[in-house]
Structure 1
């Protein structure tokens, strides 16, 4: 039988070479890691990175080419934050409820110009987003603007009627709170909130009004005690969590005033055609931002989603004739996803049993599918934001 060869210890030179190679490999791995972090700060396939700290955005000024751009928003503060791209008071894109330490992508189609970036807390200073025209960008011929005259006119009638309902319900809510009638105030709140969410798309175009009407306590420095925290979330906390009308008179008065302001703005402003679909997708994504996969969906949140879906249904009905001629496949997918979400919501309404985690997961999945379908409308209609 042949004897096994004896093991020969490595020479000092080989050991030194091995150590050097290991060190070089460590340096290479560290360099790759650092470059992967820095890469999101500059243009690449993943887009542009914005870090939101407790005091604002880093960088506070960002320059990007016009067109569809993806931003990675990183929360480096100790509380959930939101990030918006705002043109004057009009919100073009937003991402809400980004948890501390996490990052969320946001994709927006931007024309050349200067925009503001909200940076976490509503009291933080805004950043600046400078969008530069790209000479080499090929432009796709857009559908004629006259094609949207009919849908926009019909939507103006719809918003006018909804605003009347909202003003009436908000006034009833204010009066019930002033009278200390909790039951009447709760019902008036439900009526007003439903209409508010039917109008979530046009309300969401106005950053200041949207913040007063729909911001959450976590968006403010002093949370529930912040004097700037008014609107539906403030009222819901008092009426349903505390079961009291005490201390809500100011918020109810402000609500009526904000509805009046909204009415005046929508009367004189025209809604950009591209915002019909993109704005509707954004408000569904905002609802999703506040509902993690492992969080139970409460009854108030469920009622909000029902109202948001009703508002999205109106948009789909307005744009369906255009999609039928331009992109039947897009319309088919959109209508299928809308119907699926409506079925899930109806099943929840018809069921007397408590909701399960599987029910919540199905609802979140159906909502995401509808939001994605809505974002496909503008490309199908060659609409630019």
Structure 2
């Protein structure tokens, strides 16, 4: 009987337990509802405050500039904005995740990555006067242009050593590529000479001489490099049969020294001006003119930041150059404007040492 009583008691307790769990005091229900209302009210207040703050921030900022990108296009592809603070809203109209970048030469100034199809991202930045490239979808796609116009009310920015990093890096990449091509041409010269192919050797010699000429501006202000350049140039002016003799050690030394050098814009321009002002001929050689042209074009965006008018003149010079490459014509004008460009882009001694 005791066992049955205890068993029955446990069964009743088990049956009663669920009823205890489901009972709720009216007071507890009111407290729960009040807590829920407070939580909802807090979330609503947060959302309202966030929205108001975003609207206030947008109202206080600059006007958004809308850009639509696809895999291979930007719309618009050319943008003109005033210097200072700018806000871009980039919308991906393509079918894959894309990015948008503002480039100064090889340097990425600003970017927005991982923009999903249909998504918009805002980019706000400070822009100096000048001309920049913008990526349009995939990095392999043609690039657009961002033209930042100087303000007439603001002083022109003073250049710093950091401003030179982009052009110097891009020029170093050019020198590396050109030096590798020169080494390849010298190998071809040696091989042609080894098998007695005079015609192939002469072709390789002319190719090497043209490539070497494009490297001349990088030697400005460095006596050792200029001496090596002179030895190579003299060797390549010999006939094909003698040009390869002893030239490879000098070429390797030249290439190694060149790879270790950082060439700032004022040095590039000093070399370019020397090419255009050569007293040895009445007209510049095509190789010299091309080398000077490439340096001027490389430094145009940086020049536009500090002297937009000068940058405009040099653009005009470069357009006129192919039709009038004589010292008394466009060649002389370009040399004079490159001298002004060099002055504008030369850093102070204090900035160089910073």
TM-score (ref. length: structure 1): 0.46
Which has more radius of gyration? 2
